[in-house]
A and B are shown apart, each in its own frame.
Chain A
Amino acid sequence: MLWEPVGILFLIGMIYFLVRDGKKFRDLRFWFGAAALCAIFFGRVYFHITPGRYYSILVFPALFFLVYLLKRGPWHFLPEKNAKLAMDLLFAGCLLAGTLRCLYYNPQEKKIVDLCSRIKADAAGKSVIGLAYTSRFSQISYYSGVECIAPERPLPLSELLIHLRGNLSVYDGDFDAVYWVVEVKKNETLTPEMLRMIAPPERFGVFGGEYLDRHRKKKLVVLRYLPLPERQKMPEDRGELVKNGDFSKAQSEKDLARIRNDMGKRMTRLQTEKFVFPAHWVIECSLAGKNNSFASVVERGDTQALRVDANGYVFCIVPSFPVETERTFSFHVKAERDAVIQISRNVRYPDQSLGLHPFYLLFIKAGKERDYRLQIPAYSFFPFGELYFWIQSGTVEISDVRVK
């Protein structure tokens, strides 16, 4: 948190103080100050407070120990005149170093703001959405003025591109332009051929890009897709239902009682309202503070749907199905409140490591109903696929979940 040179001088000053000033141990106020400092530091450690800025109050001990070092440093080894000069030089050095550090900047910051301004100009007067696969999504959204949704975890560029192939049509009819903002590492390549395999270049391509740092280790790339004005009609044959894909079977009363006890502590509405969870499906929620989320199977005429009201993440895990060959996954969604659904996939790599990848981000406006059809690429080394409906926000009803 402290800039390293300041931190080092702080430590030297503190050690010097402890070694040199013997009288202090008899002063009660010294012990009180030391106890306060320890309490401030270890209190934060105890409560798992990790971000550096929460330790900002420690800047004062650092500052005063630094001044202590200037005042009572090992100058007594020097002649009196030189001692004063040494102290003044160290002070001037601190001022100069601090000032120079403050003037050191990343020239790319301005370029990123300019890139966002270009997005803003391009998006003016259009219905657009930003899908930000970067930790900087709030900055992109703020400076470009484009509403951005972001997955809850990063995704390697190669995985994103594999899954975009054949699936861009899910945005047709809803938006005039869709922007993907992705962070590309130095060793990752993004060629026009790779993009051409996903969609024709007049509809999908690189809108712009800027390096994030002056050493050019990471680049922020913006991809733009221009959706068709009309949604394509869904084919009649959408495959067969996944296990309990119509939500006709409910979990047993015993299981529901267990869920009420366990999950009810986080989703408190489960304790007070009647709910039905579908058999074979797993429904979970995040540990975040907001706890008004709710999920239940509801009757809609002759059919059933899974209704999720998300105030904080709620994820519904689809019963696994084989994915040795490419599959087509389709479902119907109705949104009551503006909803963000992230479709994630559990991936096991040949080295047996597991990854949960957020592949598709869908934004559904309140009152809209949509049929979605997604191509799920084959993973020969992981024969069964586990898909997550990861509802980030909004109220949705999911029904008719099929795979072909």
Chain B
Amino acid sequence: MSPVRKEKLLNLCVLIATMLGALALRLTYLALHPLETRDGIGYVRFIEKLHAEGAAAFPDLLQTQPPLFVWLSWKLTDCGLDAATAAVSVNIAAGVLLLIPVYFAGKRLFGEVKYGFMSSGIAAVMPLLVRFSCERLRESLYLLCAAIVLCCWLYAVTRVCAKRNFFFCGLFGVVAVFCRYEGLELLLLGAFALPSALLAKPRLKNFFFALLAFSVGVFVGYFVMRSLPGMPDIFVIFYNRVKIFCLVQQFKPF
């Protein structure tokens, strides 16, 4: 085995060990904190209702909320898990997987593998991230999407496999929007990174392909999400939200 390959394998082992440590810490946290949060209970009830009534209950339950977290948890209940366990499983998995993009982003940002491990190590024990992983809320899944977008963004603006990374920026930006509305700012972040493609020659060609890759990513992301069985349309949900937002703002001008 070549030394480079050996080093890569070692890095992989360290990353897996970090993830296993993060998993153990999250499971311990879960055992020590049996009381679910108020909002978390709301989501558990949504999932229970979806499990009982099927996809037809979606429009009533989630008129204004992006549905990915509830959808994933609901699908896990079909595998025999109860709603609370399904929801926390999604979040713990997301919380542990988050370490991968954080590792790559740290490596890219600071230029050394060591700092990638430092970043993922701190993310593994950061109290806020551990808490989000153990609550039945959308944060953990959203932060995973955000970490992937930020990581791809970093690689894209520093022109490492830019087209592929622009594609993933678009794709995971849309997945993030299906998770939380704040995902829109991740999409914008990806879109605003496009001019960085102009920094390398041939400028226009680079920009064109970056734009194309990003747009294809957005469309693929949207159609993949919509093709999931029972997934409601984010545009309908978004429309409901905007309608209510306008209604409320009319009376509370800021």
Please list the residues of chain A having a beta carbon within 8 angstroms of any beta carbon in chain B.
Answer: 1-3, 6, 28-29, 32, 36, 39-40, 43, 46-48, 53-54, 56-57, 59-60, 63-64, 66-68, 70-71, 91, 94-95, 98-99, 101-103, 105-106, 109-110, 112-113, 135-136, 138-139, 141-143, 265-266, 287, 289, 291
Contact = CB atoms under 8 A, between A and B. Distances in A.
B64 interface: yes
Contacts of A1: 128
Contacts of A6: 126-128
B38 A136 contact: yes
B41 A142 contact: yes
Interface of B: 25, 28-29, 32-36, 38, 41-42, 44-45, 64, 102, 105-106, 109-110, 115, 118-119, 121-123, 125-132, 137, 139, 142-143, 146-147, 150, 157, 182, 185, 189, 192-193, 196, 244, 247-248, 250-252, 254
Contact of B127 (A3, A48, A67): A3
B38 A60 contact: no
A98 B125 contact: yes
Given A63-B119, A113-B35, A142 B247 contact: no
Contacts of A56: 128, 132, 139, 142-143
Nearest to B176: A57
A103 B126 CA distance: 12
A126 B150 CA distance: 54
Contact of A70 (B118, B192, B193): B118
Given A54-B182, A56-B143, A109-B34, A265 B247 contact: yes
Contacts of A2: 128
Contacts of A98: 122, 125-127, 130
A136 B147 CA distance: 32
A119 to B, nearest CB: 15
A270 to B, nearest CB: 14
A292 to B, nearest CB: 12
A67 B146 contact: no
Contacts of B192: 32, 36
A253 to B, nearest CB: 25
Given A32-B157, A63-B122, A102-B25, 15 more contacts: A1-B128, A43-B185, A53-B139, A56-B128, A57-B146, A60-B146, A66-B122, A67-B118, A68-B110, A98-B126, A109-B34, A109-B35, A113-B34, A139-B41, A266-B251
A59 B129 contact: yes
Contacts of A112: 35
A95 B130 CA distance: 13
**A46, A56, A102, A266 interface centre (most CB from chain B within 10 Å):** A102
Nearest to B252: A287
A3 B146 contact: no
B147 A60 contact: yes
A102 B28 contact: yes
Given A48-B254, A138-B38, A99 B128 contact: no
A8 B125 CA distance: 17
A287 B248 contact: yes
A6 B129 CA distance: 12
A110 B122 contact: no
Given A48-B254, A64-B109, A266-B251, A3 B128 contact: yes
